[in-house]
Structure 1
């Protein structure tokens, strides 16, 4: 670890990086919430805003601003996550079967059905790698260095619970399922709220950055 004199601009780099990255994440969460309502047109902004915010925070406006300290594993995981996330729509559009009036009977899954779980698994693996690295490196003050892990756990929970098999008997019965769908609606809010939480944490920490020694890790460190 190398300690950088705040007079060199390291504290300014950190402040600019975290505030800008946080604003982009909050904007992504806002677009996500708006798209669930009548402003569905904003759904096209969700991924680009999130990707840009994640890249800003990982790469940093200057090395001192990087929440991964520009270490290859953590930074590479964030960049890989962004690449997969931004390319999945194109891949799905290419692999999607052409519209047909009648759905033919087939015994084998389509390429899209095979690629989708692989893509989601790769994104989850990259996300776990990134949040664990951010937590372990500790550029972000404790305990907020583990905030990305908390947010990822909330998002995973929100996506896993609605498809859990223990809901099947209740759905099949068709009796009193309104409260169940209300629970699903609440769970759907966890994703944008988790992203907004990360953005707010970044903005607050960036705004509260005070002069003092700023730790910067060599980029070649593992």
Structure 2
């Protein structure tokens, strides 16, 4: 149980740090330090997801080390780096450049969405995260869906000429979804880790008292 507490506390703090750096990055767009902050946020988030996926034992893994859940979280963690690598490989000057970019654009939406949904379902089905918090990733996934679907619907309803006036709404939805997936889930993980620690200590104290 102590291992679980350490894993969840460390992973939660990593997600919280990623969320804070993400907010700082948004406020420093165009500055020299923005790329460094963005990279640090992605690395922290990826490390936290990998830690949650594998843990130090089955009990500390939020997906109980079930292969499907582990794979989904690994894909979710590494996908931002994969997109950067693939983006550098694609050349728009080649004959197949437009098609490759189109496929890449679709994949950049579908792959993280599928991985996020599978991971959220696996966390909800695993027996490691207590209810109702095992469904928190599903809530976050739903918020991400809203943040993506609403702009598409409004674009279709309003049209390209008037859509610029709603840019602030779209940015706000995107930020809320990002913060829910980093800062929000990080806080939940830290609180759960702290609750496990406070419930573990009396058990050991009671056992020590009985021996005396």
Range that drifts further, 151-160 or 200-209: 151-160
1:198 matched to 2:148? The reply is no
- Corresponding residue pairs, total: 193
Which string of whole-angstrom CA distances, capped at 9 and with x for unpartnered residues, describes residues 166-200 of structure 1? 3355354549x64x233223212213321211000
Judged with a 3 Å threshold, the aligned counterparts in structure 2 of structure 1 residues 208 and 147 are, in CA distance, closer, same or farther, namely same
Judged with a 3 Å threshold, the aligned counterparts in structure 2 of structure 1 residues 115 and 61 are, in CA distance, closer, same or farther, namely same
Alignment of 1:168-187 (within 5 A): 168=156, 170-174=158-162, 178=165, 180-187=166-173
- Give the Cα separation in 2 of the matches to 1:107 and 1:75: 34
Is the Cα contact below 8 Å between 1:74 and 1:130 reproduced in 2?
yes
1:93 matched to 2:88? The reply is yes
- Give the Cα separation in 1 of the matches to 2:122 and 2:157: 40
SS at match of 1:65: coil
Which string of whole-angstrom CA distances, capped at 9 and with x for unpartnered residues, describes residues 70-89 of structure 1? 11121122123323332111
Show structure 1 runs of 5+ residues with no match. 1-10, 99-103, 213-222
Q: State the match for 2:149 in structure 1.
A: 160
SS at match of 2:39: helix
TM-score, structure 2 as length reference? 0.81
Q: State the match for 2:130 in structure 1.
A: 141
SS at match of 2:79: helix
Judged with a 3 Å threshold, the aligned counterparts in structure 2 of structure 1 residues 90 and 165 are, in CA distance, closer, same or farther, namely same
Judged with a 3 Å threshold, the aligned counterparts in structure 2 of structure 1 residues 17 and 183 are, in CA distance, closer, same or farther, namely same
TM-score, structure 1 as length reference? 0.77
**Higher relative contact order, chain-length normalized (CA < 8 Å, sep 6+):** 1
Within the candidate set 23, 28, 39, 2:18 is matched to 28
Q: State the match for 1:131 in structure 2.
A: 120
- Give the Cα separation in 2 of the matches to 1:56 and 1:197: 17
- Give the Cα separation in 2 of the matches to 1:207 and 1:35: 29
